[in-house]
Structure 1
Amino acid sequence: MEASRGGHSGAVVLTGAAGMGKTALLDEAVAAARDLPVARVAGIESERELPFAALHQLCGPLLPRIDRLPQPQRDALEITFGLQAGAVPEPFLVGLAVLSLLAEAAAEQPLVCVIDDAQWLDQASARTLAFVARRLLAESVVMIFAVREPAAETMSILRSLPELRITGLRDADARELLAEVVRWPLDVDVREAILAEARGNPLALLELPQTWSPATLAGGFGLPQGRIEESFLRRVDILPADARMLLLLAAADPVGDTALLRRATAHLQLSPEAGDPLRTAGLLQIGSRVVFRHTLVRSAVYGAASSADRRRAHQALAHATSPETDPDRHAWHHAHATIGEDESVALKLEASAGRAQARGGLAAAAAFLQRAAELSADPARRADRALLAARATYRAGSPDAATALLASSSAGPPDELRGARISLLRAEMAFASPTRSTEAPGLLLDAAQRFEGIDVVRARRTYLAAFAGAVFVGRFAGDTGLAEVAAAASKAPLPEGAAAAPDLLLDGLAQLYTDGFDGGAPLVRRALDGIRGSATDQDMVEQFYVVSHAAHTVWDDETWQELTSRHLRIARTTGALSGLTFILYQRLALHLHQGEIAQAAALIDEVDAVGVATGDGQPPVAALAVAAWRGQEADVARLLPGVTETLTARGQGAVLTAMHMFTAVLHNGLGHYAQAHAAATNATSYPPEAGFANWALVELVEAAERCGDRAAASQALERLATRTGPSGGEWGLGVEARSRALVTDGAAAEPLYREAIERLGRCRAAFMSARTHLVYGEWLRRAGRTSDARAALRTAHEMFVSFGAEAFAERAGRELAATGAPARSRVLAASTELTAQERQIARRARDGQSNVEIGAELFLSGRTVEWHLRKVFTKLGISNRRELRTALPQNALAGLPG
């Protein structure tokens, strides 16, 4: 908090058992804040199923500042809080909106956010606040969470935040505190029993002695036993019946609304004096709000109540809650008051689930739907609702619970549509699982075939998803791989009317993987042209994986560039972080293809940041790829074993192929041709695979030829030509001409080298263009044409230096030196002093984007962007944005992801 006064931010999570003093420490922190504004909220156990309940409490007082947010963020927050209708906002866009709102609130003076009992936060609020806490840097915002242990689910959400464990008092301090509480003589055995039971827990030391009278404690009759909750319950048990029911009503109501509690009390005809014993015992205070002595009183009372009494309390609260102004809490109380099956209540819960989903509250929607399924009298409705609950539960991040709900849905009466949807959800869950992705192609194929007789359009889209799954698992596909998916897809029925671009893509991929590139590649290219011109943003989100793979499979780097740029814009605009990692990987590969190694490196931090934000830990694939292109052998050697092991365990064959291909690039650059030969052979070892396996064929031709293995080089060239020729395009035909030149003897090779240089110079393949100048220069030098070789090698060397491709630059430099013309020394641009994130921000600032706009794209607050820019200005020796254009060479920032 002291650092926040200097413009810094921070977060900490206090963890400890109930009663250890976390709330007392929070109170101390609030007192220490002195003149600073404090936003405080506490999780409530019975409110865990209501979406964004805690977030609304925290942000409610700050909403007058919402007009200062960018429009997409403002809309996301207003939809989330039910202030306007609209499409469900992406969870991470909501998080960015909250981050911006807190930053705005802290613009004048630091803001302290205190979140107590975080173990009871609703999941949507917990994930949003964790996202915000991880992105804090220069907003002058402090976030302090308190979590009661054990709370594995909450701690998994808050992981990576600094943790401060609160443990029990030392023995001497515990004795001193007990002496303050019990001021009369205490039997030695009783004192030791209390100390042993409390185990240094301050609340236990304060509360346990109050369970027994002084005489009992002094005489040693009836030693204290049990948990703190039990000590509270002993005090509850001696209360009159009306007081106990009033206490249960308060425990079952998460709102703390005094008027609501009085209406429920009146409905149960409790005596007006029912609250007097509670006040006397210090268990409950009923004023402008209903406040428990401690949250443990609430949980202990509710947990110990009989099911009949709980139903009675919820029935009274349902009667007291307006179905018009608060329909969700009304439905929730009504559901907990219901025994057996009740379709009317199930319908109310289904409507509540719809409202929760519209606000992005997937966990709440899942809870509503699960209870609705339990109350459904009709077995078919029960199965349908269980399926809806399973989908919401899975999307809320609870795959095990979703699996149980799917089993319940599968047990319902037979229904073809439901069966297809169950198969589809099982496939999606397998695809996303670190250990079950290899099951996805078969499950998706089953779902697609089930949809054929029900919904042809859905069937064909599911076949495309099956292609994506088969591509992703690659060599680990087992019984259902690309060949099997293609064979089934080729028989899929056609939709009525004119074929849409995705239908052409499906037919093209099916033909490509069954009959080869001759018929399939031209059809895939036609489909990609159609998708570029007609795909909606939703189409892009759903089909990006298979579309982007298809683009570089048929050597269409213009479509690859356009689609990745568009999808990146969509993901950043909507906050769709869940799919952003794959998009960033595609952009990284595209930057490497274009010779933009610095720009690719700038994405490494963003890939890592997205992994932290989403909780989806990824092996350092991006770092390995960049290291390979740069020629950093030690880094690749350090990273490759762990990456290979992880990708193999996860069944991610396509990524493993890319890693072997990247390794081949590294060794070809270093001149380690035997190692490059081995890596490229591994990358091309799964015949049906395309994508990066295509690139690996190019590496294999070069490595094998340099090793003197002309047979392997010729075989690789033959395989390559079957893919490049039918695909057409300058990129594919250029690498084919280059590869053919490498295995051609005598003067016949020269026109092939020249053709390759011309073709590659007309597309985005700048890195391969430089490599073609290199091998052409090497060929010219061996042919004794020193002057011509010097020109080609100098071009290659200068290109590699500008790219930052150290190994290839050194290889070209050695060849150039052999011609008698030493390579020029490399001049480092000033931009190398900037971090990857600073370069991204500098590029956007140079192009005129505001701090808020930059933050929206990079999931930062505007104030953090401003902090980074001040560091950029200092490093570059400038004072404002206008000077960015002259402070750095244009090529130092050109092409950064945006």
Structure 2
Amino acid sequence: MLKGRRLERGRLARLLARAREGRSAALVVRGEAGIGKSALLDDLASAAHEMQVLRGVGIETEAELPFSGLHLLLHPFVDRLDVLPEQQAAAMRSVFRLAQTPVPDPFLIGAATLTLLSDLAEQRPLVCLIDDAQWLDRASSDALLFAARRLHAEPIVMVFAVREAAQPFPTPGIEVMHLEGLDRDSALEVLAQCAPKLTDPVRDRLLEESGGNPLALIELARVPQDAPGPLRITGRVQDVFRAQLEELPAATRLLLLLAAANGTSDLDVVLRAGESLGVSPVDLGPAEKARLVVTSAEGIRFRHPLIRSAVYQGAPHHQRIAAHQALAAALPPAEDDDRRTWHRAAAATGPDEDVAADLERTAERARNRGGAVAVALAYERAARLSTDQDGKARRIVRAARSAYDAGRPDWATRLASEAAALTGRPGIAAEAIYVRAQVAYESTSPAADAALALQAATLITKSHPERALSMLTEAVWAARDACAHDLVSRAVAELETVRLGAGAELRPVAAALIGYGRLAAGDPGAAVAPMRALVDAVKAGSVEGFEERVIAGFLGLLTGDEDAAVEVLESLAADVRAAGSLGWLPYALEPLAIGRLLRGDFRDAQSEVAEGILLASDIGMDMQVTVLKAISVWLAAVTGDTARCHALAADVREHAALHPTNAALAMWGIGLLDLADGRFEQALDRLDEVCGGPARHDVLIRAVPDHIEAAVRTGRADLAGRHLPRLAAWAGHNVVGKALEARCRAMLADGDEADRHYRAALALAADRPYEHARTGLLHGEWLRRRRRRSEARTTLARADDTFTRLGATLWAGRARAELAVLGDRPSARALADDPLQRLTPQELQIVRLAAAGHSNREIAARLYLSPRTVGHHLYRAYPKIGVTRRTELAKLVSVDVLTS
């Protein structure tokens, strides 16, 4: 029976109550070894009564086997995979080895895990308990934590017990409960139960030395306490276990060693291995009597993980080698190739090319199953067993690449540096430097990434041109993010030396990146044609890679063709969803949201940014969260959410030194907010910084009209036209640019010339509602000042209507203020006129998909939510928009001009 823990048990009981009410919860219980985490999970399972309880556990020796933890937890439910969306079901079948197809994206398994758990919870509330989560293989922990973070309206409780250890186990986004030692009264109860005859001095010493650790109390109470001075609890408890082991017969210790080295509860394998070493099942008896292990029909289990550690670490090295050899031989010949290989590797005492080659095959099988950590571990061990230097370097650099893919940058850097030092072969050295480059993007700066990627590419430009192009693509784009124009120029110069085959798919990519270099150098005339050619190639389907399509979308924005950019990026996002390549989605949503906001589709942009931030946060893409927040600053500014605008900008500008492009976009947003709200001096300062800053050749070229408006409003004629020549040079190659240039020239002109420019700008921006309304507002103000009241009233009313419909609150207020000067008293358009504005971005996204005829299950698969969560959002949305049935949505959404 669990002693004490009143507060902790109360907190867990509240989680159960939430689940019984149909609300989900996730919690991480952290604490030192022996502190009672497992006991607390057992108590929670007992309290779950009528609920379903799933139990999982991380096993230290299985950390190299991808999805072993998820398999243990969910394999009993493989018969339910048909309820999952097709792509999720296929991925889970691969995980459970029911199909030979590779796992397409590890994060898709997280979505499938969420869907499967949600389906199980349809029958009755579900409690999912994961013990020793710090030892889960990375693929399983990623999937389970992804699911836990996206729980919302499901009757599910997920609890992870995590031992605090030297190897951290981060659980961002999930609440944590730290488990401390028992209070004195509860500790006394434990001692009274397990050692009632202790003398007072011994009991007091145990209370002091244990720190309230229950396992320490129980185990230390069983041995004489005559050693002076306090000892660390875990070490002292392990000493106790070692002492118990030393009292066992040698044959029993050998069987325990086999069980510890095996890493699973498979007793048959342990006994077969024991038979080859001359021990029998009878030899387990003393260990069971000493309560060190428990055997049952399910197999053999150590009473506590520290016992397993004490057994394995306390065995002589030669015995461990013999144990792994025996286990490798005992595994069935047609099964468990990976386990066998790992046992052979553990038994190797020196270089062994046969085992190294087997480990390489194990690594590739792990890659097909989506286990990047397992790939890195296998390749690194294979390298250590390699018999030649170049082979060792090749395997280490592959381990480094997989460590980077697994989100382990320090490990990746260490391996990459080692590989580069082992060989002079340019291909291996280039790959090692490239790994370091990609790590540097987050750990140092995008500029550091660009410099290293360029260095890597120059080693293989002639020998491996297509691989060099990939590295130079990284160099150009990272240098763009850093506004490192010198690095852009150097990377473009190297690109010009790359010789691809005549029919190479990536030729348009190289040409477009060279074109971008011309744009960054201030020569849009030489830039636009090759940049647009890549957009056309992607639209025609002749360039199909995800990365290349993201770049094409960005280049469409930079050439002023956001319609083409949105078309490319919508198609990419759809393909990413269809393929289940979840890790690519935030990268696609970023330029897609920018394209939407440039077209005035603010609510669509907000939905995409919200989805991107949530997803990027869930899968640990911290820098992508910052990028998307920068877009949110602009959107918050245009919709008049002042507090959110400033809060987000503060977050983004913390990274300004490393990521000036993001910071400049956020600064544009703050300047726009000031401009809309009539703070023209502040707006001018901010927009001058944006338009004259290092990111001025990017999308931020479109901030020039805002800068001119602020300068004109403050009477700063000396500043007003400063950036117009650059805008004019860019505008000569696209209609949107011509509309913006005409607006600028109107603000700087007088009389009929100004009127002519305003009307030209309005005509050119006819299909861009936001830009049309911005120009209409300025033109209406100009008309009012010239006492052309009727024309002014018509123009301003049209701008007011458009701003209100778009949700551009502050700009609508500006238009109404002008109308009020004309004697009109326009009332703010009622929110009921556009009920969709009442919805959150996610609710709006779900309502639109539902209106298009998608089922909850289809929407859930698209948005990586559970069907129940989709239903919950619809339930909350219906009253906001005044509908009671799903069939009413189509009519409501169909009249929304912003529906995508």
Q: TM-score, normalised by structure 1?
A: 0.93
The alpha carbon displacement at 1:221 in A equals 9.0
Contact 1:468–1:545 (Cα < 8 Å) also in 2: no
Identify the residue that residue 437 of structure 1 maps to in structure 2.
446
Counterpart selection for 1:387 from 397, 405, 421: 397
628-637 vs 105-114, which deviates more?
628-637
2:266 matched to 1:257? yes
The alpha carbon displacement at 1:151 in A equals 6.2
Identify the residue that residue 648 of structure 1 maps to in structure 2.
656
Q: Deviation per CA, 1:512-543: give whole Å up to 9, x if none.
A: 34471112212322232122212554x1x223
**Distance in 1 between residues matched to 2:418 and 2:356, nearest whole Å:** 17
Identify the residue that residue 659 of structure 1 maps to in structure 2.
666
The alpha carbon displacement at 1:494 in A equals 4.7
Identify the residue that residue 331 of structure 1 maps to in structure 2.
341
Identify the residue that residue 188 of structure 1 maps to in structure 2.
200
Identify the residue that residue 466 of structure 1 maps to in structure 2.
475
2:314 matched to 1:314? no
AA of the residue aligned to 2:807:
G
**Distance in 2 between residues matched to 1:639 and 1:688, nearest whole Å:** 19
Gaps in structure 1 of 5+ consecutive residues:
none
The alpha carbon displacement at 1:11 in A equals 1.8
AA of the residue aligned to 1:572:
R
Contact 1:114–1:143 (Cα < 8 Å) also in 2: yes
Identify the residue that residue 242 of structure 1 maps to in structure 2.
251
The alpha carbon displacement at 1:612 in A equals 2.9
The alpha carbon displacement at 1:435 in A equals 3.3
Identify the residue that residue 8 of structure 2 maps to in structure 1.
none
Q: Deviation per CA, 1:296-348: give whole Å up to 9, x if none.
A: 21122112223222212111111112353110000001100001100000011
Identify the residue that residue 11 of structure 2 maps to in structure 1.
none
The alpha carbon displacement at 1:778 in A equals 2.0
2:295 matched to 1:280? no
Counterpart selection for 1:290 from 283, 289, 300: 300
Superposition map of 1:101-500 within 5 A: 101-150=116-165, 153-154=168-169, 156=170, 158-184=171-197, 186-212=198-224, 227-271=236-280, 273-288=282-297, 289-431=299-441, 433-474=442-483, 477=484, 480-497=486-503, 500=507
875-884 vs 45-54, which deviates more?
875-884
AA of the residue aligned to 1:54:
G
**Distance in 2 between residues matched to 1:70 and 1:151, nearest whole Å:** 39
Contact 1:45–1:299 (Cα < 8 Å) also in 2: no
Counterpart selection for 1:67 from 60, 82, 99: 82
2:780 matched to 1:767? no
2:568 matched to 1:568? no
Q: 1:351 to 1:494 in 2, by over 3 A?
A: closer
AA of the residue aligned to 2:589:
L
Counterpart selection for 1:596 from 573, 591, 601: 601
**Distance in 1 between residues matched to 2:854 and 2:36, nearest whole Å:** 47
2:559 matched to 1:554? yes
2:113 matched to 1:98? yes
Identify the residue that residue 715 of structure 1 maps to in structure 2.
722
2:524 matched to 1:517? yes
**Distance in 2 between residues matched to 1:348 and 1:125, nearest whole Å:** 24
**Distance in 2 between residues matched to 1:13 and 1:674, nearest whole Å:** 50
Contact 2:664–2:695 (Cα < 8 Å) also in 1: no
Q: 1:548 to 1:25 in 2, by over 3 A?
A: same
The alpha carbon displacement at 1:363 in A equals 0.7
SS for the counterpart of 2:502 is coil
**Distance in 1 between residues matched to 2:784 and 2:34, nearest whole Å:** 80
**Distance in 1 between residues matched to 2:642 and 2:614, nearest whole Å:** 25
**Distance in 1 between residues matched to 2:326 and 2:83, nearest whole Å:** 42
**Distance in 2 between residues matched to 1:249 and 1:552, nearest whole Å:** 62
The alpha carbon displacement at 1:634 in A equals 4.4
SS for the counterpart of 1:854 is helix
Identify the residue that residue 612 of structure 1 maps to in structure 2.
617
Q: 1:171 to 1:112 in 2, by over 3 A?
A: same
**Distance in 2 between residues matched to 1:854 and 1:58, nearest whole Å:** 26
AA of the residue aligned to 1:648:
A
**Distance in 1 between residues matched to 2:543 and 2:401, nearest whole Å:** 24
579-588 vs 716-725, which deviates more?
579-588
Counterpart selection for 1:684 from 685, 691, 709: 691
280-289 vs 378-387, which deviates more?
280-289
The alpha carbon displacement at 1:97 in A equals 0.6
AA of the residue aligned to 1:409:
A
339-348 vs 574-583, which deviates more?
574-583
Counterpart selection for 1:851 from 856, 874, 896: 856
Q: Deviation per CA, 1:602-651: give whole Å up to 9, x if none.
A: 3453233223311334344344222211234444344433421x2224x1
58-67 vs 264-273, which deviates more?
264-273
Contact 1:473–1:653 (Cα < 8 Å) also in 2: yes
AA of the residue aligned to 2:673:
L
Contact 2:434–2:452 (Cα < 8 Å) also in 1: yes
AA of the residue aligned to 1:277:
P
SS for the counterpart of 2:551 is helix
**Distance in 1 between residues matched to 2:239 and 2:504, nearest whole Å:** 71
AA of the residue aligned to 2:393:
A
**Distance in 2 between residues matched to 1:863 and 1:527, nearest whole Å:** 41
Contact 2:851–2:887 (Cα < 8 Å) also in 1: yes
Q: 1:808 to 1:886 in 2, by over 3 A?
A: same
SS for the counterpart of 2:896 is helix
The alpha carbon displacement at 1:452 in A equals 1.1
Contact 2:128–2:157 (Cα < 8 Å) also in 1: yes
702-711 vs 382-391, which deviates more?
702-711
Over the matched positions of the two proteins, sequence identity in percent amounts to 36
Contact 1:846–1:882 (Cα < 8 Å) also in 2: yes
**Distance in 2 between residues matched to 1:462 and 1:281, nearest whole Å:** 60
383-392 vs 24-33, which deviates more?
24-33
Gaps in structure 2 of 5+ consecutive residues:
1-15
**Distance in 2 between residues matched to 1:425 and 1:565, nearest whole Å:** 30
SS for the counterpart of 1:39 is strand
Superposition map of 1:518-557 within 5 A: 518-537=525-544, 539=545, 541-557=546-562
**Distance in 1 between residues matched to 2:793 and 2:289, nearest whole Å:** 97
**Distance in 1 between residues matched to 2:28 and 2:667, nearest whole Å:** 41
**Distance in 1 between residues matched to 2:543 and 2:531, nearest whole Å:** 18
**Distance in 1 between residues matched to 2:640 and 2:877, nearest whole Å:** 28
SS for the counterpart of 2:221 is helix
**Distance in 2 between residues matched to 1:371 and 1:278, nearest whole Å:** 33
**Distance in 1 between residues matched to 2:296 and 2:806, nearest whole Å:** 69
Report the count of equivalent residues: 874
AA of the residue aligned to 1:199:
G
**Distance in 1 between residues matched to 2:630 and 2:521, nearest whole Å:** 31
SS for the counterpart of 2:723 is helix
**Distance in 2 between residues matched to 1:711 and 1:637, nearest whole Å:** 29
819-828 vs 312-321, which deviates more?
819-828
Q: 1:221 to 1:845 in 2, by over 3 A?
A: closer
The alpha carbon displacement at 1:796 in A equals 1.0
AA of the residue aligned to 1:502:
V
**Distance in 1 between residues matched to 2:712 and 2:647, nearest whole Å:** 28
Contact 2:271–2:281 (Cα < 8 Å) also in 1: no
AA of the residue aligned to 2:890:
R
The alpha carbon displacement at 1:426 in A equals 1.8
The alpha carbon displacement at 1:434 in A equals 4.8
2:841 matched to 1:860? no
SS for the counterpart of 1:150 is coil
The alpha carbon displacement at 1:827 in A equals 1.4
**Distance in 1 between residues matched to 2:18 and 2:646, nearest whole Å:** 41
The alpha carbon displacement at 1:706 in A equals 2.8
